[in-house]
Amino acid sequence: MSDSLPPLRELLATAVGAVNGAERPGQVKMAEAVEQAIAAGEHLAVQAGTGTGKSLAYLVPSIRHAVGKGSTVVISTATIALQRQLVDRDLPRLAKALKKSLRREPTFAILKGRRNYLCLHKLDGGPADDPDDQVLFDPFAVSRMGREVTRLREWAGDTEEGDRDELVPGVSEQAWRQVSVSARECLGASRCPIGTDCFAEKARAAAGRADVVVTNHALLAIDALGTAQVLPEHDVVVVDEAHDLVDRVTSAATGELSAAAVSVAARRVGRMVEDDVADRLVECGEGLNMLLEDVAAGRLDALPEPLRATLTATRDAAHACVTALGPEQRGTEPDAASARKQALAALEDVHDTAVRVLEAFDTDTAHQRDVVWVTGDFGAQTPRPPTIRVAPLSVAGLLREKLFGENTTVLTSATLTLGGSFDALARQWGLPAEQSHAVKAEGAATDKEAPSDDWKVRWTGMDVGSPFDHGRSGILYLAKHLPPPGRDGLPPAYLDELKELVEAAGGRTLGLFSSMRAAKQAAAALRETVGGEILCQGEDSTMLLVKKFAENPATCLFGTLSLWQGVDVPGPSLSLVVMDRIPFPRPDDPLASARQRAVEARGGNGFLTVAATHAALLLAQGAGRLLRSMDDRGVVAILDPRISTARYGGFLRASLPPFWPTTDPAVVRGALRRLDAAAN
């Protein structure tokens, strides 16, 4: 039927007209490529710079396909901000604009994991969650949680969708857990006395009827992991903010095990099984607690024998509890059924994670699938009890089999090529080496394909460019004359350079630092030496700080990771982006260091494949904060001289937008002064 619908170009023109936009060449090129990919059933990766209008470029062909074929297209995003933009702004306008051409109004829905929705059964008196040790350690947390739960009960009377993200300001994870359930804990709509009014069930039903379902990368990952079928039947997936896909999927596939989790599972199952069966699990929790206190935080390359023995005992004790619990008896009351489900979910979590941790050490480095590390800090201001974490070294196999193997997939973002090639990210997604023959920059990654990569998936990489003229609108300042960054905070020369740049720009500076410590140090130093206000992340909510920064051009905003990707401030309030150092992962980052080691075990270059790729992606994202509208002008300054001098520097520079490059501080300060004067 899609052939009887108006052609794509006509629909796109109608859609663009409805949002008062102008047709943009990159947008048209992208929309046509998406349509072709869907028709041919081939995957597509599209890099589309800020201002391309990429959401319409994938939404219009997606809607045309869904309406024409009577199927569903899933759109996945990394951030709530983009999810809201799609559901609250783009899709309602598009649905109305395209109604006449498509002869019916296309439908859309948003779907998140069950834990994101208020569970009315739990709110109505279902079994409450046990507070975890973090709360018990903090005397203020208990009363704070009580206040938050009271607020949640009031909100429950007003909300129409029961979606946690609607609640502003939000509540702590612990409070939210008192009114929500995981998919494993849910009774199921047919058993639940409130099933017909359930928010999560309503969202699922709406998603099942919709042409377009908007979701997040975590739910996409849970669907791919196959633990539960959470997304409705679909044949096309569009992954927006695809630069974040691997991190989000890795997080969703990360397991956690702590002594508190074992105790909670034992408490929940307590009265449902014989005492001696539950007591074995209690003892395992106590044993784990004592052992983990002596394990240093960080990656575990070998499993200490006492820990192996305790994990084995924990695995077996959890399994014995599940066996003793047995199948649910007919006629069980909903509250009892719910308590049983909660116990079972906790036991299965403990059991499955213990199995995963034990199996992670059963193989050599080259074939290792999971990495294990311990986090926690009893000495911190808010103590964090030790927790064992287990995460996949690679999600390439999962994505290749479950995402690319089962759907036509379109991946898009402003940053998908690194060093001039899609290779680095394609490798992480499980796609074979690039098929668009771009020239790779010197110093690019050299990983070999994983041994199991014998199934070739067809895909195309396409860069539709950017509407910005980077060479005329922005300067890339590489401060080659500065010393390399030190271990003990920012060198004095960096602070002097920063001060001169900020003064020349008249404020208007976004400082992106590789650590919170460096951001605070820079903020403290500049508050003593420059005139305007210096805002520093952590001193208020990031949303409020960004708002303040955008409203007053004389202010500067300094911060770390979330600012590298999340700030969108068009106009003269932002004309200088400064990055203090190349944002390599910390050497003690357990996942990055294990991934690096695994690449080396296969004969590749671990540093370039993992650390340089990570840094290139963040640098490109950070530099992307500068030009947000067609009139924006400014400077991206990188203080770390290694980007000019190191062998991998070429790869990093080739990952940045094509600004006009210079190493001359006087030229940069002159340009910033002129921009400041023009804006005043």
Residue ranges in contact with ligand SF4 by CB under 6 A:
114, 119-122, 181, 186-187, 189, 192, 194-195, 198, 200-201
Taking the least distance from each CB to ligand SF4, the nearer of 346 and 510 is 346
Sign of CA dihedral 557, 563, 564, 566: negative
The Cβ of residue 18 has, within 10 Å, a number of other Cβ atoms equal to: 15
What is the smallest separation between the CB atom of 32 and ligand SF4, expressed in angstroms? 42
Taking the least distance from each CB to ligand SF4, the nearer of 121 and 234 is 121
| 16 and 56 Cβ atoms separated by less than 8 Å | yes
In this structure, what is the dihedral angle of CA atoms 43, 47, 50, 56, given to the nearest 10 degrees?
Answer: -20
What is the smallest separation between the CB atom of 341 and ligand SF4, expressed in angstroms? 8
What is the smallest separation between the CB atom of 313 and ligand SF4, expressed in angstroms? 32
169 cis-preceded (ω within 30 degrees of 0): yes
| Helix/strand/coil (H/E/C) assignment for every residue in 591-659 | HHHHHHHHHHHCCCCHHHHHHHHHHHHHHHHHHCCCCCCCCCCEEEEECCCHHHHCCCHHHHHCCCCCC
What phi, psi does 463 have (nearest 5°)? -110, 110
What is the smallest separation between the CB atom of 231 and ligand SF4, expressed in angstroms? 17
Sign of CA dihedral 491, 493, 494, 499: positive
Taking the least distance from each CB to ligand SF4, the nearer of 200 and 536 is 200
What is the smallest separation between the CB atom of 183 and ligand SF4, expressed in angstroms? 9
User: Angle at CA 585, nearest 5°, toward 584 and 587?
Assistant: 110
What is the smallest separation between the CB atom of 226 and ligand SF4, expressed in angstroms? 20
What is the smallest separation between the CB atom of 229 and ligand SF4, expressed in angstroms? 15
| 179 and 118 Cβ atoms separated by less than 8 Å | yes
Taking the least distance from each CB to ligand SF4, the nearer of 200 and 523 is 200
Taking the least distance from each CB to ligand SF4, the nearer of 195 and 432 is 195
Taking the least distance from each CB to ligand SF4, the nearer of 189 and 550 is 189
Taking the least distance from each CB to ligand SF4, the nearer of 189 and 206 is 189
Question: Both tokens of residue 313?
Answer: 């005992």
What phi, psi does 647 have (nearest 5°)? -65, -35
Question: Both tokens of residue 534?
Answer: 């210096």
Taking the least distance from each CB to ligand SF4, the nearer of 182 and 663 is 182
Taking the least distance from each CB to ligand SF4, the nearer of 117 and 549 is 117
What is the smallest separation between the CB atom of 654 and ligand SF4, expressed in angstroms? 49
What is the smallest separation between the CB atom of 194 and ligand SF4, expressed in angstroms? 5
DSSP calls for 146-180: HHHHHHHHHHHHH-SS-BGGGSSS---HHHHHTT-
Q: Which letter, b or e, does each residue of 19-41 get, where b requires 16 or more Cβ atoms within 10 Å of its Cβ?
A: eeeeebebbbbbbebbbebbeee
| Helix/strand/coil (H/E/C) assignment for every residue in 562-594 | HHHHHCCCCCCCCCEEEECCCCCCCCCCHHHHH
Taking the least distance from each CB to ligand SF4, the nearer of 120 and 403 is 120
What is the smallest separation between the CB atom of 215 and ligand SF4, expressed in angstroms? 17
Through-space distance between the first and last CA atoms of the chain, rounded to whole angstroms: 57
CA–CA dist 666, 638 (Å, integer): 15
CA–CA dist 668, 470 (Å, integer): 15
Taking the least distance from each CB to ligand SF4, the nearer of 189 and 291 is 189
What is the smallest separation between the CB atom of 130 and ligand SF4, expressed in angstroms? 18
Taking the least distance from each CB to ligand SF4, the nearer of 334 and 397 is 334
What is the smallest separation between the CB atom of 239 and ligand SF4, expressed in angstroms? 27
CA–CA dist 331, 308 (Å, integer): 41
CA dist list (Å): 194 to 123, 149, 167, 187: 11, 20, 22, 10
| CA nearest neighbour of 373 among 254, 288, 250 | 254
What is the smallest separation between the CB atom of 612 and ligand SF4, expressed in angstroms? 44
What is the smallest separation between the CB atom of 338 and ligand SF4, expressed in angstroms? 7
Taking the least distance from each CB to ligand SF4, the nearer of 110 and 192 is 192
Taking the least distance from each CB to ligand SF4, the nearer of 19 and 156 is 156
What is the smallest separation between the CB atom of 126 and ligand SF4, expressed in angstroms? 7
Q: Which letter, b or e, does each residue of 85-100 get, where b requires 16 or more Cβ atoms within 10 Å of its Cβ?
A: bbbeebbeebbebbee
CA dist list (Å): 52 to 23, 86, 570: 10, 15, 15
Taking the least distance from each CB to ligand SF4, the nearer of 165 and 362 is 165
CA–CA dist 225, 217 (Å, integer): 12
- For 191, how many CA atoms within 13 A lie in the half-sphere containing its CB? 16
Q: Which letter, b or e, does each residue of 533-542 get, where b requires 16 or more Cβ atoms within 10 Å of its Cβ?
A: ebbbbeeeeb
CA–CA dist 375, 300 (Å, integer): 11
User: Angle at CA 396, nearest 5°, toward 390 and 402?
Assistant: 100
Taking the least distance from each CB to ligand SF4, the nearer of 32 and 335 is 335
In single-letter form, the type of residue at position 445 comes to A
What is the smallest separation between the CB atom of 201 and ligand SF4, expressed in angstroms? 6
What is the smallest separation between the CB atom of 322 and ligand SF4, expressed in angstroms? 20
CA dist list (Å): 323 to 244, 319, 328, 355, 514: 40, 6, 12, 16, 49
Taking the least distance from each CB to ligand SF4, the nearer of 341 and 614 is 341
Question: Both tokens of residue 493?
Answer: 């020369």
| 590 and 554 Cβ atoms separated by less than 8 Å | no
Question: Both tokens of residue 238?
Answer: 């569009």
